[in-house]
Structure 1
Amino acid sequence: MPASDQLPELPVTFRPTRTRAVLLSAGTVMLITFVAVALAMPDNWTVIDRATMIGTGLLIFALLVLLSRPKVIAAQDGVTVVNLTTHRRLEWAEVLRVNLRAGDPWVYLDLADGTSLPAMGIQPGMAKEQALRDARRLRALVDARGTGGHDRWQNGA
């Protein structure tokens, strides 16, 4: 097995780092801007007006933090998928396949129960090469640790 194909050490976290950096930076700049505007307004602005400006900045910041939340954590005992508002823990045997097809906004995990789970922590938006590399690494881990794919191949399917 070439060095580039070796399995990553566990635990490993996959997340869209460039997207996350842009979102958190933009959120911080927007929050600072809204607070500065609220504090710099003339005296005829009421406390409620200023609080509304600061509250709007906080709301925008919170939304951008939420958008930067997705990640996929591969550990010895399974995979944790953290999306915008959901968190799901999977055993390795539950994950049959890792899919990232051209045009997909993020990786999809095919599960043993017949469903598919989006894993938004690996997304090709701003860093396509990183997403492809991360998807391959996760796929290699699923192939090595999961039972779904191996059972099919051993049974001649």
Structure 2
Amino acid sequence: MSELPSLPVTFRPGRTRAVLLGAGAAIFVVITAVALLLETLGPGERLSFVFTAALLFGVLVLLARPKVVADENGVTVVNIASSRHLEWAEIVQVNLRTGDPWVFLNLSDGTSLPALGIQPGIARQRAVEDARALRALAEARSIGDPEQHQG
């Protein structure tokens, strides 16, 4: 196995994020331009066009938000509308099975937490590498192997 990534490390779906943010910016520009170029629209209608464009852009920004940040203290999972910090000992297993839309973290309390920051959508190989790296970090820093992370 290769070396563990140095901490802190951030995993995020870079290509997906670029597509979402690029599309959001393009949509905002096009709708705003249409609002300004249509001479038959009044000020309120123009404003509603721009507001709608901003709303669509905001939704795409939220969809581009997911990431997984691993540091010395644990893992912070940032999903679309929530964020949760986990201690290393809370992570029992890191899973990315064939067909999974993203990584799932099996936790010590018996629950599973989706980690949308590692998703195979556009860049499958990158997601597999990121999942392996996070799995290796979790295994090396688990409570069962304290020697690995002291010091």
Superposition TM-score, scaled by structure 1 size: 0.90
Partner of 1:69: 65
Residue 78 (structure 1) aligned with residue 87 (structure 2) = no
- Identity among equivalent pairs (%): 56
CA distance in 2 between partners of 1:70 and 1:147 (Å): 27
* Corresponding residue to 2:44 among 19, 41, 48: 48
Residue 95 (structure 1) aligned with residue 91 (structure 2) = yes
Partner of 1:6: 3
Superposed CA RMSD in Å reads 1.2
Residue 36 (structure 1) aligned with residue 37 (structure 2) = no
Contact 1:124 1:130 in 2 (8 A): yes
Partner of 2:135: 139
Superposition TM-score, scaled by structure 2 size: 0.94
In structure 1, the gaps of 5 or more residues are 152-157
Q: Deviations over 1:82-128 (max 9, x none)?
A: 00001000000000100000000000000000000000000000000
Shift of 1:147: 2.3
Shift of 1:146: 1.3
Amino acid at match of 1:74: A
Shift of 1:45: 1.2
Contact 1:96 1:147 in 2 (8 A): no
CA distance in 1 between partners of 2:55 and 2:136 (Å): 39
Aligned residues between the structures: 146
Partner of 1:15: 12
